[in-house]
A and B are shown apart, each in its own frame.
Chain A
Amino acid sequence: QQQVKQSPQSLIVQKGGIPIINCAYENTAFDYFPWYQQFPGKGPALLIAIRPDVSEKKEGRFTISFNKSAKQFSLHIMDSQPGDSATYFCAASIMDSSYKLIFGSGTRLLVRP
């Protein structure tokens, strides 16, 4: 119930492509769903996050789609660039409670020039 399942494990796209990373959860108490971006040798950095009361959130080239009934959410990267090559983690937490983040297994994205 505490797991967040993420797919795919790795992804290769051409510059300008739209990589899509998917996550699924079981615990309906989760109420905060962030995506983190991690470059080698660095800690994860918050990219974008969504609450379950909205179905989509867009920030720049990054969009989260959220399907509460299916307990799934996904990250879309529009017009992907080689600089987007990194590992992406979805996560979930219960805010106003423990605040601890449960992370997905990560997706290693490579954007070819």
Chain B
Amino acid sequence: SAVISQKPSRDICQRGTSLTIQCQVDSQVTMMFWYRQQPGQSLTLIATANQGSEATYESGFVIDKFPISRPNLTFSTLTVSNMSPEDSSIYLCSFYRGTTEAFFGQGTRLTVV
């Protein structure tokens, strides 16, 4: 099975600060995705990150708040900027192995105080 490593697994942050979440995949992938999952809720796509191009953001998410980097085909970062308590959530990265199976990281549980 695919290996996808996400760091940190959890963090407690002060409001107004920023947190960068890292996602490392065990093989090269074209598209990576970042999702947000509020506790007990469903997953909502934040953005799609392709290597060598700007990330594509979904409605309600903007680059200034959630800048994404994709420096190579195995790595991506998501930054949650100028955090507020409303940003408390689980953030997950994801990629496709082949064309049909999406793999997810274990998630980063963020609490903003």
The interface of chain A, by Cβ under 8 A from chain B, is: 32, 34, 41-46, 49, 89, 95-96, 98-106
Contact = CB atoms under 8 A, between A and B. Distances in A.
> Is the interface on chain B under 10, 10 to 19, 20 to 34, or 35 or more residues?
20 to 34
Interface in B23-65: 31, 33, 41-45, 48, 58
Given A43-B107, A99-B31, A100-B48, A34 B41 contact: no
Per DSSP, chain A at the interface is loop
B89 interface: no
12 contacts: A34-B100, A43-B6, A43-B104, A44-B104, A46-B103, A49-B100, A89-B42, A100-B33, A101-B102, A103-B42, A103-B44, A106-B41
Nearest to A101: B102
B106 A46 contact: no
Given A43-B105, A106-B41, 20 more contacts: A43-B6, A43-B107, A44-B92, A44-B104, A45-B104, A46-B101, A49-B100, A49-B101, A96-B99, A99-B96, A99-B99, A99-B102, A100-B45, A100-B48, A101-B43, A101-B102, A102-B45, A103-B43, A103-B44, A105-B42
Nearest to B92: A43
Contact of A95 (B4, B33, B100, B107): B100
Interface string B87-101: 000001010100111
